[in-house]
Amino acid sequence: MAELSSADTGGRPVDPEIARQASVWFAMFLNGSDTDADRQAWREWRIADPEHERAWQHVESVNLSLSKAPTRRNYNPWANLRRARQRRVRSFALVLVLCGVGIFASQQPLVRSWVERLVEQSR
């Protein structure tokens, strides 16, 4: 685990092991699996060393920063893929229709003569 940067923790890096411990406590609380005994042990852990408190304050500040980040309601990560697939299918269908129209039109004498005139003019 990377050390917490100096800017994040009041000027000094936090020991990686202490940062890991703080993140484990945070994950337990976030998960909701904490008990009264866990909360008491967490309080004792914070009081036991000023570095523990500093690491915990950092974890809380990161959580606060992330909670203020804008969120997208009802975000569906598959929606963009579904829209892209729908666009490809529509495009392919359009190409097929245009090819069919082109083949049909080329069989018509009026269209054939018109195309032949265009080809002659472009030479």
Given a contact cutoff of 8 angstroms between Cβ atoms, the answer to whether 3 and 19 are in contact is yes
Q: How far is CA 109 from CA 23, 77, 105, 114, 115, in A?
A: 78, 52, 9, 9, 10
The DSSP secondary-structure symbol of 69 reads: S
* pLDDT for position 26: 93
Confidence of residue 16 (pLDDT cuts 50, 70, 90): very high
Condensed to tens digits (0 to 9), the pLDDT of residues 47-99 reads 999 999 999 999 998 888 887 776 666 666 677 788 888 999 999 999 999 99
